[in-house]
Amino acid sequence: DAKTTQPPSMDCAEGRAANLPCNHSTISGNEYVYWYRQIHSQGPQYIIHGLKNNETNEMASLIITEDRKSSTLILPHATLRDTAVYYCIVRVRGKLIFGQGTELSVKP
């Protein structure tokens, strides 16, 4: 089963880009990479997902390396409301397997 590894915590200055890395070296060819975030005391919120091409939506951009062994979530202009735990996830037999995530703290 594909697993993901992320740094446990990161800081980012308000207004700067937040770049959150994720390693998924055992991902198989047809597994998507998903990103969710969880703001304190709330349920997780979907951000973005991708297979091999880079993706962008109104919340973030997702950069996936050519070998698909790692990816980076980019929040282009982080705000204080982006402070949350960010989960990089792969879907294994229909299930999202959440790891510990990265706790992003956006500071003024």
Partner 1 sequence: GAGVSQSPSNKVTEKGKDVELRCDPISGHTALYWYRQRLGQGLEFLIYFQGNSAPDKSGLPSDRFSAERTGESVSTLTIQRTQQEDSAVYLCASSFVGDETQYFGPGTRLLVL
The smaller minimum CB distance to partner 1, of residues 49 and 68, is found at 49
CB of 101 to partner 1, least distance (A): 6
CA 5/CA 89 separation, integer angstroms = 9
Neighbouring residues of 27: CB distance < 8 A, sequence distance ≥ 6 = 2, 33, 68, 69, 90
Site for partner 1 in 18-77 (CB under 8 A): 32, 34, 36, 42-46, 49
Asked whether 6 and 20 are in contact (CB, 8 A), the reply is: yes
How many residues make contact with partner 1 (CB under 8 A)? 21
CB of 89 to partner 1, least distance (A): 9
- The first and second tokens of residue 67, run together, are 């070998």
CA 51/CA 30 separation, integer angstroms = 7
Does 91 bind partner 1 (CB under 8 A)? Our answer is yes
Q: Which residues sit at the interface with partner 1, rule CB under 8 A?
A: 32, 34, 36, 42-46, 49, 85, 87, 91, 93-101
